[in-house]
A and B are shown apart, each in its own frame.
Chain A
């Protein structure tokens, strides 16, 4: 019951911000992999940066990450970090599907089980009530 209440306490604007964050995150990861795959095999940072800067996908990715950062700051002003951050993990499903459809990467049972465990873990983290110890500390302040 307390878990349900804690979810209901999240405002619509926070839900919207989190949803857009998940969509941006999923597409961003696919773009990121696409950019990284085309970079030269070198440890020279300057060469890598210049090679990345010459790609349009890099700038698209940078714009997406920047927008995500501002959106994330807006979400953090309205929600606990230890609650909001785990909710964005729904992008693991999005990235999984997109990596298979878009990049043609193979999926194994281990991968599916891995994502399932991560989602359960995230649900446990996200929807747990605040620790009574923390509630007492908050009342003191």
Chain B
């Protein structure tokens, strides 16, 4: 079975989660209208991610798809650095490297 389409869907979904988490973190800093706006945008991105992940699960085992989705941790750290101006330490970046290596190993040969 060709796993590439499923794997691609999980990768795109992981990138969307990074953006969605940034929206929710922004929402946590506000009240009322701005809160609702950021939560809505975050929720919309999550809906897209859900659709992509569900489609991917049609062709991928959960034992492959779920570890692959760990790349969302990398996208969250990168998005937090770029969009929220957080400063992840070198140790956090090393952790991201481990996660990327682990996700790569989840892909069957």
Interface residues of A (CB under 8 A from B): 29-30, 32-33, 35-37, 39, 41, 45, 48, 52, 65, 69, 72-73, 76-77, 80-82, 85-86, 89, 92, 95-96, 99-100, 103, 105-108, 110-111, 113-126, 128-131, 133-134, 137
Residues of chain B within 8 A of A103, CB atoms compared: 62
B98 to nearest A CB, angstroms? 3
A85 touches B76 (CB 8 A): yes
CA distance A81 to B103 in the complex (A): 21
Residue of B nearest to A95 (CB): B66
Query: Using an 8 Å CB-CB cutoff, how does the interface string of B71-109 with A read, 1 for contact, 0 for none?
Result: 001001100100011111101101111111111111011
CB contacts between A and B, total, < 8 Å: 163
CA distance A123 to B66 in the complex (A): 18
Residue of B nearest to A133 (CB): B87
CA distance A73 to B35 in the complex (A): 11
B98 touches A118 (CB 8 A): yes
B99 touches A125 (CB 8 A): yes
Residue of B nearest to A82 (CB): B80
Interface residues of B (CB under 8 A from A): 21-22, 24-25, 27-28, 39, 43, 46, 50-51, 53-55, 57-58, 61-67, 70, 73, 76-77, 80, 84-89, 91-92, 94-106, 108-109
Known A-B contacts A73-B24, A105-B62, A117-B99; the reply to A32 vs B89 at CB < 8 A is no
B73 touches A89 (CB 8 A): yes
Residues of chain B within 8 A of A86, CB atoms compared: 73, 76, 95
Contacts A/B (CB < 8 Å), 10 sampled: A29-B66, A81-B21, A99-B62, A99-B66, A114-B102, A114-B105, A117-B101, A119-B102, A125-B91, A129-B91
Please classify the interface of chain B as helix (H, G, I), strand (E, B), loop, or mixed, using the class held by over half of its residues.
Answer: helix
B76 touches A113 (CB 8 A): no
B73 touches A92 (CB 8 A): no
A121 touches B58 (CB 8 A): no
Residues of chain A within 8 A of B80, CB atoms compared: 81-82
Residues of chain A within 8 A of B100, CB atoms compared: 121
Q: A117-B98, A124-B98 are in contact. List 20 more A-B contacts (CB 8 A).
A: A73-B27, A73-B28, A76-B25, A82-B80, A82-B86, A99-B61, A99-B63, A106-B63, A110-B105, A110-B106, A111-B105, A113-B105, A118-B98, A118-B99, A121-B97, A124-B91, A128-B91, A129-B91, A130-B87, A131-B92
